Amino acid sequence: MNKSLGLFAFTTALIISSGSAIAQSQPGSFYTNVGATMISDGSDSETAYFAQAGYNHYLTPFVALDLNYRHTATLDSSVAANSTSFASKYNSYGLGLKLEQGIGWFDLYGIGGASYIDSEVSRWSVANSAVETTKESSIEPYASAGIKFAPKGSPLLLDAGVSYQWLPNNESAASLFAGAYLTF
């Protein structure tokens, strides 16, 4: 029992004292991510891709404002007659707060905020026997969590994570992504 407690105390002290190997010492960083998304309306889901660009402005080495733009579109942009599938695309403009903590050679982070979203959804209308497209704009919350790490000697930080974006029309988008940061 004493060995386990001692090992736990030693590991905790090592993590706390080591800080972050890549803690942000510059005021900002640009980043870009690409990934796969599952857009769901509660009864059906469609696969989509996304590309994101953003900027983090650090208030402290571990707290930053996150500004981002994301374009997302379903892989199949057509809707077949009498189908329950849908085609969706949206642009989001987000502002959030990022918290990050270094653990050894990588940083874990979480982001929460809100996005202004321009959304377009196309579905088959049985009543009209035609595809109907609905456009809507709203402000919706988002959340992300990820890990970033620096290859030895590189100014780039590699990034991987997950995100969840609430969308207009009772839809949501769950995403997996990978990308890179460039600090300055």
* pLDDT, one tens digit for every residue, the chain (184 residues): 455 444 444 444 333 333 444 445 568 899 999 999 999 988 888 899 999 999 999 999 899 999 999 999 998 777 877 777 788 899 999 999 999 998 888 899 999 999 999 999 888 887 888 888 889 999 999 999 999 988 776 777 899 999 999 999 889 999 999 999 887 6
Instruction: Name the percent of the chain in helix, strand, coil, to the closest 5.
Output: 10, 70, 20
Return the pLDDT at 5.
45
Return the pLDDT at 13.
39
Return the pLDDT at 49.
94
Domains belonging to the chain, first-starting first, are: 21-183 (2.40.160.20)
Q: How far apart, in whole angstroms, are the C-alpha atoms of residue 145 and residue 111?
A: 6
Entry pTM: 0.79
Identify the helix (H) or strand (E) that includes residue 69: strand 63-74
Residue 65 CB neighbour total at 10 angstroms: 15
Return the pLDDT at 25.
56
